[in-house]
């Protein structure tokens, strides 16, 4: 069975204090791409950020411990990085927490109503900026599969059905977005890490669930890689910067001996933070910077 929230919190207590401190320091002081010094602007364009909660920098905050949009997401880090090299990008975030590939199209979410949808707004935006240079990032797929990971036992059939839906609907989404975009627009898809790996620190049942979730997220990333490649779109290797498949033992910030992928999830998300901020599946400021770095790594030369 999946341990209840309070059991997860207790099981991760040995990691929580140091990791929460690291997350708070990252938010207050900034690091990585966000800390780059600015230089005079030499170019400009737009940055259209599409997707779900990760696209809008959701994190737990003092006012909203369960999570809310922040200015410490990967899009903010990318804007700062581009500014540091003289590229001024105007950020438009259309993302909606909880967005799946289905709600991206039909708008049945908490952000778009009365016949509107994130996809419709994105098409309108790209059409209106057709002659401009721009960047589009796409954070979709996770919320179509994640319901399969919240159950006591990960259901392989549920995962496969979700992957099939991602395969068909994301392909259609990308096709219409590319058709609306101008010739100077760069698209980047985003792969995913597995926040549920942190459950490996909660005991035997947690380790079983972590292994199953790792299988599911790995399948999702492979599906996304195939889709983006077929569309001629680069995919940011978020799984890589989160060391998703590194299982060698390492010493965490708190001194505990855990697998590298588990320690990385604890360091780059709120899953191992003490209540009321954790466990929370979203990246912390350092995690969002790592995602930004993975996007930068696949950008064309005009953006890096």
What is the pTM for the complete model shown?
A: 0.86
Helix ranges (DSSP H) in the chain = 5-11, 13-29, 74-84, 101-106, 118-128, 142-145, 156-180, 204-230, 238-241, 260-268, 285-296
Is 250 within a domain? Answer: no
Write out pLDDT tens, residues 203-248. 889 999 999 999 999 999 999 999 999 999 999 999 999 999 999 9
CA-based radius of gyration for the chain: 19
What residues have CB less than 8 Å from 80, skipping those under 6 apart? 33, 34, 35, 36
Q: What is the pLDDT of residue 7?
A: 39
Instruction: Provide the domain count of the chain.
Output: 1
303 burial class (0-12, 13-18, 19+ CB within 10 angstroms)?
Answer: buried
Alpha helices in 231-284 (DSSP H): 238-241, 260-268
Q: Is residue 28 part of a domain?
A: no
| Strands of the 43-51 sheet, one edge to the other | 87-93, 43-51, 134-139, 185-190, 234-236
Question: Residue 219's closest CA among 187, 244, 202, 189?
Answer: 244
Is 20 part of a structural domain of the chain? no
- Residue numbers of the chain with a pLDDT score lower than 70: 1-42, 252-254
Q: What are 221's two structure tokens?
A: 């990333």
pLDDT of amino acid 37: 45
Residue 247: DSSP 8-state = -
Is 130 inside a domain boundary? yes
CATH classification at residue 51? 3.40.50.1110
Residue 13 resides in a domain: no
State the pLDDT at residue 6.
42
CA 300 to the chain's CA centroid: 21
Q: Is position 12 within any domain?
A: no
Domain region containing 178? 35-191+204-241+287-303
Predicted pLDDT at 22: 37
CA atoms within 13 A on the CB side of 17: 5
User: Two tokens at 71?
Assistant: 């200015």
| Within-domain flag for 151 | yes
Structural domain contains residue 197:
no
114, 167, 121, 116: which is closest to 144 by C-alpha?
167
Q: Which residues pair with 45 in a beta bridge?
A: 89
């Amino acid at each position: 069975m999946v341990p209840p929230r309070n059991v997860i919190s207790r099981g991760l207590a040995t990691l929580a204090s140091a990791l929460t401190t690291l997350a708070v320091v990252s938010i207050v002081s900034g690091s990585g791409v966000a800390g780059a010094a600015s230089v005079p602007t030499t170019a400009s364009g737009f940055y259209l950020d599409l997707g779900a909660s990760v696209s809008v920098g959701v994190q737990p905050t003092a006012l909203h411990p369960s999570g809310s949009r922040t200015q410490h997401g990967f899009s903010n880090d990318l804007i700062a990085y581009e500014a540091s090299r003289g590229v001024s990008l105007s950020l438009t975030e259309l993302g909606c927490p909880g967005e799946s590939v289905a709600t991206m199209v039909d708008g049945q979410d908490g952000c778009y109503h009365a016949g509107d949808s994130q996809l419709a707004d994105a098409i309108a935006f790209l059409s209106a900026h057709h002659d401009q240079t721009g960047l589009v990032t796409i954070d979709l797929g996770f919320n179509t599969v994640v319901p399969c990971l919240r159950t006591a036992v990960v259901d392989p059939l549920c995962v496969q059905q979700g992957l099939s839906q991602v395969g068909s609907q994301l392909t259609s989404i990308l096709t219409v977005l590319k058709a609306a975009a101008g010739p100077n627009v760069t698209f980047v898809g985003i792969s995913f890490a597995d926040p549920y790996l942190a459950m490996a620190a909660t005991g035997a049942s947690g380790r079983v669930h972590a292994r199953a979730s790792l299988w599911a997220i790995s399948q999702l990333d492979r599906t996304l890689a195939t889709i983006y490649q077929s569309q001629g779109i680069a995919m940011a290797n978020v799984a890589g910067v989160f060391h998703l498949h590194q299982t060698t033992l390492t010493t965490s910030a708190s001194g505990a001996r855990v697998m590298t992928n588990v320690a990385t999830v604890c360091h780059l998300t709120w899953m191992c933070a003490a209540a009321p901020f954790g466990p929370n599946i979203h990246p912390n400021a350092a995690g969002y910077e790592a995602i930004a770095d993975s996007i930068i790594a696949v950008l064309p030369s005009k953006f890096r």
